[in-house]
Structure 1
Amino acid sequence: MFLNTNSHFSLRYGTVSPKKLLQLAQQMSIKTLCLTDINNTSACLDFIRLAPSFSIRPVVGVDFRNGAKQEFVMLAKNNQGFQNINQYLSDLLSEKEYTVPYRAPSLKNVFVIYPFEKHFDTKLEAHEFIGVSIENVKRIPFSIWKNHTDKLVVFHTISFQNKRGFNAHRLLRAIDNNALLSKLPLSEQGKESHVFISPEELTRSFEELPEIRINTERLLEQCAIHFDFSKETPNNQRSYTSNEALDYRLLEKLSYEGLHYRYKNPDNTILSRIKKELGIIKEKGFVSYFLINWKILKYARSKGYFYVGRGSGANSIIAYLLRITDVDPIELDLYFERFINLYRKNPPDFDIDFSWTDRDDITQFIFKTFQHTALITVYNTFKYKASIREIGKVFGLPKSEIDLLSSGNYRFDQLDKLSKLVVIYSKEIQGLPNYLGIHAGGIIISENPIQYYTATFMPPKGFPTTQFDMVVAEDIGLYKFDILSQRGLGKIKDTVAIVQKNHPDKPPIDIHDIQRFKQDKRIRYLLKHAKAIGCFYVESPAMRMLLTKLRVDDYLGLVAASSVIRPGVANSGMMREYILRYRYPERRKEAHPVLLNIMPETYGVMVYQEDVIKVAHYFGGLTLGEADMLRRGMSGKFRSRDEFLKVKDKFFDNCKASGKPENFTKDVWRQIESFAGYAFAKGHSASYAVESYQSLFLKAYYPLEYMVATINNFGGFYRTELYVHEARMHGGIIHAPCINKSFKETVIYKNEIFLGFMFLQSLEAKTIQHILIERSENGIFTSLNDFIERVSISMEQISILIKIDAFRFTGINKRELLWDAHMKINKVTFEAPKMTLFKTEWVSYKTPTLTSSDLENAFDQIELLGYPLCNPFELLQESFSNPLRAEHLPRFIGKIISIEGYLITTKKTTTSGGKQMYFGNFLDYDGDFIDTVHFPPVAKRFPFRGKGIYRIIGKVTEEFECINIDVIKMERLHIIEDPRYADSRTAQKIKQQVL
């Protein structure tokens, strides 16, 4: 008889999870339960999936409200009714500012229940009812419904578990209304009585009107909904061509057509692999999945878009032949069963990366091409800091106290009562869904309309988005297509275009000629010496250090390094062991022969996800399906914890039965456990390595063009400043933006690089557009007067351009130009300049003779670009005289030294004892890297104090040819006083002395 139940997916309202609702219902012997979240169907499918395990028959619908005011509840009689409700809700949510109407529309196979408080006449449709709460039972004899009880049903709302849940609800409502808790209107709250009560108590409340209870039971009996969660058949679009047999013939045809593009002389190994894969793909029903991906990427190639197909899909030769991936699974001996096997119900998984500038067009193409398409949502939940801050605000705490609580640096017993309540109730809402977001790249393409499964909403991106997440989608057999974006591909694409423009005499670059890149000596040199700044996935300090330690100079070595760097390998202690076995072959003899036999390529060390499957299969005696279940469970992608534990138990039982020593088995399990959650599939690492090789090729042969593209794509691991520095280190001459030579993006002329206007802080896009259009249509600017006459610009905007010295072509000091501009421009310009027959005659006057220094220019650059274009060491207050440089450090191993470095980046980590330590990355005076280690006592005593130049005192250490400084002491050095304000401060001091 419970027709109106809200879970915590009634966002910022309900406080109980769907599973907990079912548990509570089971405890009270409730046999049928309705889930009706507020304007939301996120939990419906999961509720339907879980309900049978609690011996409960599920009914689903939606509680339609305006704010907290309930208008009506819709219940689905069956699956068609559920689809109709979803469609209606989707239409509502697609409006920017929607209002739920007073009266519900008539939908087939849908019941509508209005709260008793709503005023209707007694003329209701057959599917419409009035819901009577316990509080309203006694009002029936005095209402218009006293002679129409056939239209009344029991209507007890459930939104919380108990008083504590109600208190959390009030906090959520205050957060949603951006109001102090003390000011929250009652109209925006539920009632404390909206908790579970026993069916017996509910029946007693209506014992004088038993017909109402009978009406309710009769209504519930008419509701039945069913979905198949067995995953035996995917619910994605089943056919690409509308004929499954034709689909298979097309896939077979495309595969063999791609054979000669990929292999010059295909042998029997390749041909048998193709036949094997095609058979499994057909048997598992994934033919259309491959063809849809092929169609998307065919369109991408037609538009000249760069992309990388990665994930476990790289294990498939069919994906390689269809140009979905660029990884040869035969060359790398990739484990196809990691991708698809007959035991695995989950689908193949392609992650397709596009340039961040191209992805929206690809998404648009998918929505136009395939009928039933939607983005997938993610549940953005309340995290610790957000919970503290939001509850602190509704309690009215001052910002300083909220900052203290959110930092976690407090003792609970020393807090006042209000602060304690903030901490206590923040734990109540932590983990609750806060709002629905968009998955990074997940798209579903369904056989049925999306609304058959869920309602959709319309986020700012403008594409319909499901209300359930990828886990629920997989449960129902809707497998996502991952259309992702990354800046690395944008850099590659832009570099190719820049090279063609800057070197018109050179032949076009074939960036897909990976086989040639693998043999290139320049690339091998960059890899071996870790000269990879700007290059995809290999530029971070940790990765460059690993490349040095492994002496990587080939493709397979880079594939391994791409996976070894992951936390799982490092945390298990096996990264160091892998390095030792890689560098010193005699060390490989220490590997356990069983593991060495399973993983000879990686010397008995687990490096790839496939290694987990291999070890679980060959060492633990699990089937391939069980081994993959084990891997998925550890990586958090598997739904059933119980099934995972059964497989774990079987692993240990099998090892014991086969006579393996218990301690050895536990050690192997520890390696699996610490590794599996973070490991890459080998095909994933290989895909990354392909993109790394492409960027390394461009860096090796066109370093300046590659750095320009990197800057224009907003860098990578580091700030823009470092990429500007890297360009300078490769012979680039760096210029601040120039009115006549710069564009929105950074540009290069031979070896001269002009930074783009878009990197100037506070320079408006419309200003940039006006400058470029005018220059394109009427030629370069000849003077400041010429510029002012032709471009509509405010004083604030032209000040930015003058300060950055964009008018240096005039040969006039920028201080004089500023003075001149102030005389000729109003503070705000509202009208664009109009072309006249005669040029404006400017009033002639003499500006004072002013000067500006290089140091002033540097501080203007720091203000407008975020960094100086000179060597930052030139800005030190004390004269720099230390001759020690990074290149000298190998001569001082084991010794204490003092060296100065300009801070580039830091990395915080936690020791096994829970203390914080840091790794630092600096540039010395000559621009070479210094790497530092800051152990907990030093990190606490000598913390980083932001950007700047530090004097570092520490001990030089060396491991596998990597030089570090174990810091003993560190201080940030003072820079000179800003010369732009020195005169005014001096004048102020004199004035104070006089007064």
Structure 2
Amino acid sequence: MLLNTHTYYSLRYGILSVDQLLQLGTMHGHAVMALTDINTTSACVDFIRLAKKQQIKPVLGVDFRVGIDQKQVVLAQNNIGFQQINTYLTAFLLAKNEDEREVLFERSDLSQCFIVYPFSIENSRRSLKGNEFVGVAINDLSQLSLKKIPTHKMVVMQTVTFTNNRSHNIHQLLRAIDLNVLLSMLKPEAVAKRSEAMIGRDTLLSQFEAYPEIIANTQYLLNQCHVHFNIAPHAENENLSVFQTDQANDIILLRELAYAGIKKRYQKITDELLARIEMELKMIQAKSFVSYFLINWDIITYANQQGYFHVGRGSGANSLVAYLLGITDVDPMELNLYFERFINLYRTSPPDFDLDFSWQDREDVTRYIFEKYPNAALVCTYNTFQYKGLVRELGKVFGLPVSDIEKLSRGHFVVSELDSISKQIIRYAHYMQNFPSYLSVHAGGIIIADKPIAYFCATFLPPKGYPTLQFDMVVSEDVGLYKYDILSQRGLGKIKDAIQIVKENKGMDVFDTVHDVLYLKKDKVVNDYIKKAEAIGCFYVESPAMRMLLKKLQVDNYLALVAASSVIRPGVAKSGMMKTYIERFRFPEKRKDAPPIMLSIMPETYGVMVYQEDVLKVAHLFGGLDLGEADVLRRGMAGKFRSRETFQDVKNKFFNNAIAKGHTQTMVTEIWRQIESFAGYAFAKGHSASYAVESYQSLYLKSYFPLEYMVATVNNGGGFYSTELYFLEAQKWGAILHPPCVNNSENKTIIKGKDIYIGFGFLHGFETKSTQKIIIERSENGIFTSLSNFIKRVNMSLEQLIILIRINAFRFTKVNKRELLWEVHLYKNKLAGVKTKSLFDIPNKTYQFPTLDRSWKADAFDQLELLGFSLYSFFQLLENPNTNELLAKDLKAYENKEVWLKGYLVTVKTTGTASGKKMLFGTFLDKTLGWIDTVHFPLVAEKFPIRGKGVYAIKGTVKIEFDCVSIEVIRIKKLPVIDDPRYAESKGGNSKPVVPKQASA
């Protein structure tokens, strides 16, 4: 009997999850419920899935509102009606004003729907059509006699938004957050009435017992509504099923493409190869994934035609057919990839293909997809309220001072010492945590469906400009829509740009070499650089953790790098098996310690689960699950379905089967612990192999062309570290760094020989239009000869000119910066905008300026302010720079000894211990740019915090594990730097210090 109920997907309004709403309905005796969230169909699929468990008939609809004002509730009579609702809602959300919505409503086809108008606005409607009704709530009954509406056009519409007074308080808090007002300033008309609490069926019927016709009308509406979807685990594949004209032709095309790819990929065709192709083609056809492969091939074909680089990864990289079609560059025969991870008879979803493009190219690939495939949409994500953010929002709503809000959000309090308001904030923040806050866009998921997208849900239009589903990837899969992942990645942009920069700076074309992966894998120089972890700037292998892992494993080949790419994932470390893997990798005698059953299942990884498919193997061969159940286990471990009954059933079966096989309870529990901590954070082996291919490509460029590669890196947004580090890395390899120069620099950083000119785009406060003016004028009329010549030719504001002078962009004039600042003020008003062409360049009148000196230290501080880093050595700016501390290269001689040394902070990682305390991992550089890795246990981390960028004095004990050196910190202190000399100069300072080299450590 409930026609209008809300979940918390009525964003910043509802407070109930789908499950909670249905449980409440069951508790209150309702056998039929209509879910009508406000302006969204996000929860509809979940509502159908969960309603069956509660033995409730689900009815789907939408509560259309402008702000909080209800316009109409529309219920779907069937799937066509649900599609009509979604089509109308999509347009409703895009409408600019009330008049546009009114016209839209009149023109929309809602013929397969019931439309229920709220009792309060019925008088403004024209006569009601056959499918239109007026909703009556209990509070409206007293006014029923005043309405001239026949009772056969009335239905019971008692809205449900919350459970009781406490949950109404939460609703009010959400409304205050949404409107950004103090709770005390929240107007009554901005919130739902308290009467919108769940009400029992018998109580509701008793309130309307005087109006049996209204009850009968309501029951009639509900009886007529039947929307059905095949939902997981019984979902049908709803992706576009035909790529060409029919499925038979698609199968022929896929076979032709696969066999054509053999000649490109393999020099020798073996029976094993042909058998694998036939097995895969048969399975792909049996599972109706033919069009899925062809669409991915089509996307890659378009990208290749445009000259776009790509990497294909995901579980699809386990497929030989994908390799032959060029979707991936991973040879599953070479790597012995587990076919069943890619696809098996039990698997309902297609394999994952993550297609990475450079950030410059992805947008055009996305455009191509939406133009070619009409039923396409982006996948959404639910951005949820999290504790710290909620505390801040609630603090503002309750009017707390900023200092109190920060104290609460950071957890710096004792509960017993808090006042009543602060305690309420903490209590409500915990309750409201994980409520959906707003809809966003998945990183790269795109749906390409057989049916119109409106058949499944409404869409909204985010800033990206493409229609986006109102539900996420989990719900998409539940209803049989499997996403295509079109992702962007800086690493590919670096490779593409580096090839071009090498061509321009060295005159060498290395395109074919970079893409000859077989050659790169055997390159001794590249493999040696991997072993030494000389990988700064290189995709996926540059982080401190990866750098240390490469050293510990002594990785010097492709297969070892494939393993390392997955070992570094959090799951292996969390399972406690990372150290075990390293020991067994480095010391063969340790491999006998592995349980024989685990060693037999995973001989390549010495009995340690490293890849996602290892979970499948262990679940199948150790736990006795079939491959379909094993895949449920894997997906559940990833967090998608962990709470679902199917996952719990599989978990129980794993334990029962394993024990029945004769394994001890202790062993089964331990293996399960490893699976549970590991599986959600693992890579498929093919995925790791794809990463390793790209790592080799970037490592080749870094090994042979380090300066060009570093320029490409900074121009593509860097990587794991700050931009400064990549300039330092270039300097380490012999680059001569120059600040921006009006006669040499572009918007991006450029290289000429070994000279690297930092781009104008890195200058804080310098406008793009100013850069464009400089480049255009310089290209048309030649280099600039003086400051006055520049001012005459380029119309630029005084503020922009001062930035250029302060960064020393006119150093070719050999005039001191302080004198140039005098000069710019003198000439600016006379010369700005007087851009003339003359047969003769008439010199400007010159003036005698006072002799003004400028110290290198002032230049360093200008660079810090304008670039965010200095081209002078950071150690030179210390108050006491001249001490003979140890260097990183010396530390191996001091194992288990206490040492003092200095390090410039590069990055710090905060992590939690098992007991919940905070510890740190630091990365520093010494004055020769040697790496110093530090470990700060909780007591040290608390007593000696890291206080931002700078040079630190570090006292600690040298520890060496698997040839990897680190410092267990005992004490750390940030060292003071010199006072900013620019302020001293402004008071008349005039010193002439010895100038150290720029771009030199």
Give CA deviations for 1:795-832 in whole Å, capped at 9, x if unaligned. 111111111001111111111111111223369x9x96
Deviation of residue 638 (structure 1)? 3.2
Q: Greater CA deviation, 276-285 or 132-141?
A: 132-141
Instruction: Return the alpha-carbon distance in structure 1 between the equivalents of residues 845 and 25 of structure 2.
Output: 86
- Structure 2 matches for 1:309-324, cutoff 5 A? 309-324=312-327
- Structure 2 matches for 1:331-730, cutoff 5 A? 331-506=334-509, 508-638=511-641, 641-730=644-733
Give unpaired runs (5+ residues) of structure 2. 990-1001
Taking a change above 3 Å as real, the CA distance of residues 67 and 679 of structure 1, as seen in their structure-2 partners, is same
Deviation of residue 914 (structure 1)? 2.1
Q: Which residue of 1 aligns with 2:873?
A: 871
Taking a change above 3 Å as real, the CA distance of residues 179 and 843 of structure 1, as seen in their structure-2 partners, is farther
Deviation of residue 129 (structure 1)? 1.4
Decide which of 911, 914, 917 is 1:915's aligned counterpart: 917
Deviation of residue 965 (structure 1)? 1.4
Q: Which residue of 2 aligns with 1:30?
A: 30
Q: In the alignment, is the contact (CA less than 8 A) between 1:340 and 1:348 conserved in 2?
A: yes
Instruction: Return the alpha-carbon distance in structure 2 between the equivalents of residues 466 and 263 of structure 1.
Output: 42
- Structure 2 matches for 1:824-839, cutoff 5 A? 824-825=827-828, 835=836
Give CA deviations for 1:896-915 in whole Å, capped at 9, x if unaligned. 11111111111112222222
- Structure 2 matches for 1:878-893, cutoff 5 A? 878-893=880-895
Q: Which residue of 2 aligns with 1:993?
A: none
Instruction: Return the alpha-carbon distance in structure 1 between the equivalents of residues 982 and 776 of structure 2.
Output: 33
Taking a change above 3 Å as real, the CA distance of residues 775 and 564 of structure 1, as seen in their structure-2 partners, is same
- Structure 2 matches for 1:176-191, cutoff 5 A? 176-191=178-193
Q: Greater CA deviation, 911-920 or 718-727?
A: 911-920
Q: In the alignment, is the contact (CA less than 8 A) between 2:885 and 2:902 conserved in 1?
A: no
Instruction: Return the alpha-carbon distance in structure 1 between the equivalents of residues 328 and 119 of structure 2.
Output: 60
1:76 aligns with 2:76: yes
Say which SS state the counterpart of residue 977 (structure 1) adopts. Answer: coil
Q: In the alignment, is the contact (CA less than 8 A) between 1:902 and 1:922 conserved in 2?
A: yes
Deviation of residue 971 (structure 1)? 1.0
Taking a change above 3 Å as real, the CA distance of residues 708 and 651 of structure 1, as seen in their structure-2 partners, is same
Deviation of residue 223 (structure 1)? 1.5
Instruction: Return the alpha-carbon distance in structure 1 between the equivalents of residues 38 and 842 of structure 2.
Output: 65
Q: In the alignment, is the contact (CA less than 8 A) between 1:774 and 1:790 conserved in 2?
A: yes
Q: Greater CA deviation, 205-214 or 406-415?
A: 205-214
Instruction: Return the alpha-carbon distance in structure 1 between the equivalents of residues 97 and 804 of structure 2.
Output: 41
1:125 aligns with 2:134: no
Q: Which residue of 1 aligns with 2:85?
A: 85
Count of matched residue pairs: 983
Deviation of residue 21 (structure 1)? 1.1
Instruction: Return the alpha-carbon distance in structure 2 between the equivalents of residues 569 and 883 of structure 1.
Output: 37
Deviation of residue 241 (structure 1)? 0.2
Deviation of residue 639 (structure 1)? 6.5
Taking a change above 3 Å as real, the CA distance of residues 283 and 755 of structure 1, as seen in their structure-2 partners, is same
Say which SS state the counterpart of residue 909 (structure 1) adopts. Answer: strand
The letter of the residue matching 1:729 is K
Q: Greater CA deviation, 654-663 or 896-905?
A: 654-663
Instruction: Return the alpha-carbon distance in structure 1 between the equivalents of residues 296 and 69 of structure 2.
Output: 45
Taking a change above 3 Å as real, the CA distance of residues 833 and 123 of structure 1, as seen in their structure-2 partners, is farther
Instruction: Return the alpha-carbon distance in structure 2 between the equivalents of residues 572 and 364 of structure 1.
Output: 42
Say which SS state the counterpart of residue 857 (structure 1) adopts. Answer: helix
Say which SS state the counterpart of residue 135 (structure 1) adopts. Answer: helix
The letter of the residue matching 1:903 is L
1:847 aligns with 2:849: yes
Instruction: Return the alpha-carbon distance in structure 2 between the equivalents of residues 662 and 198 of structure 1.
Output: 47
Say which SS state the counterpart of residue 193 (structure 1) adopts. Answer: helix
Q: Which residue of 2 aligns with 1:295?
A: 298
Q: Which residue of 2 aligns with 1:143?
A: 147
Instruction: Return the alpha-carbon distance in structure 2 between the equivalents of residues 99 and 426 of structure 1.
Output: 39
1:736 aligns with 2:739: yes
The letter of the residue matching 2:134 is I
Q: Which residue of 2 aligns with 1:113?
A: 116
Instruction: Return the alpha-carbon distance in structure 1 between the equivalents of residues 660 and 881 of structure 2.
Output: 73
Q: In the alignment, is the contact (CA less than 8 A) between 1:789 and 1:840 conserved in 2?
A: no
Deviation of residue 846 (structure 1)? 2.9
The letter of the residue matching 1:658 is K
Q: Which residue of 2 aligns with 1:992?
A: none
Instruction: Return the alpha-carbon distance in structure 2 between the equivalents of residues 232 and 376 of structure 1.
Output: 18
The letter of the residue matching 1:136 is D
Instruction: Return the alpha-carbon distance in structure 1 between the equivalents of residues 272 and 606 of structure 2.
Output: 25
Q: Greater CA deviation, 933-942 or 528-537?
A: 933-942
Deviation of residue 585 (structure 1)? 1.0
Instruction: Return the alpha-carbon distance in structure 2 between the equivalents of residues 295 and 411 of structure 1.
Output: 60
- Structure 2 matches for 1:84-103, cutoff 5 A? 84-95=84-95, 101=101
The letter of the residue matching 2:661 is S
Instruction: Return the alpha-carbon distance in structure 1 between the equivalents of residues 264 and 309 of structure 2.
Output: 18
Aligned-residue sequence identity (percent) comes to: 55
Compute the RMSD of aligned alpha carbons: 1.8
Deviation of residue 589 (structure 1)? 1.6
Deviation of residue 507 (structure 1)? 5.6
Q: In the alignment, is the contact (CA less than 8 A) between 1:15 and 1:159 conserved in 2?
A: yes
Deviation of residue 413 (structure 1)? 1.5
Decide which of 222, 225, 228 is 1:226's aligned counterpart: 228
Taking a change above 3 Å as real, the CA distance of residues 589 and 805 of structure 1, as seen in their structure-2 partners, is same
Say which SS state the counterpart of residue 194 (structure 2) adopts. Answer: coil
Q: In the alignment, is the contact (CA less than 8 A) between 2:514 and 2:520 conserved in 1?
A: no
Instruction: Return the alpha-carbon distance in structure 1 between the equivalents of residues 464 and 419 of structure 2.
Output: 44
Q: Which residue of 1 aligns with 2:994?
A: none
Instruction: Return the alpha-carbon distance in structure 2 between the equivalents of residues 907 and 111 of structure 1.
Output: 56
Deviation of residue 217 (structure 1)? 1.5
Give CA deviations for 1:210-266 in whole Å, capped at 9, x if unaligned. 221222122222221111125453100010002000000000000001111110112
Say which SS state the counterpart of residue 37 (structure 1) adopts. Answer: coil
Say which SS state the counterpart of residue 333 (structure 2) adopts. Answer: coil
Q: Which residue of 2 aligns with 1:192?
A: 194
Deviation of residue 840 (structure 1)? 8.3
Decide which of 280, 283, 289 is 2:283's aligned counterpart: 280
Q: Which residue of 1 aligns with 2:20?
A: 20
Q: In the alignment, is the contact (CA less than 8 A) between 1:757 and 1:763 conserved in 2?
A: yes
Give CA deviations for 1:350-401 in whole Å, capped at 9, x if unaligned. 1111111111111111000111000011010100011111111111111111
The letter of the residue matching 1:963 is V
Q: Which residue of 1 aligns with 2:995?
A: none
The letter of the residue matching 1:88 is Y
Instruction: Return the alpha-carbon distance in structure 2 between the equivalents of residues 513 and 122 of structure 1.
Output: 72
Deviation of residue 583 (structure 1)? 1.0
Give CA deviations for 1:178-202 in whole Å, capped at 9, x if unaligned. 1111111122111011011112222
1:158 aligns with 2:149: no
The letter of the residue matching 1:744 is N
Q: In the alignment, is the contact (CA less than 8 A) between 1:65 and 1:100 conserved in 2?
A: no
The letter of the residue matching 1:27 is M
Q: In the alignment, is the contact (CA less than 8 A) between 2:925 and 2:932 conserved in 1?
A: yes
TM-score (normalizing by structure 2): 0.96
Deviation of residue 49 (structure 1)? 2.0
The letter of the residue matching 1:870 is Y
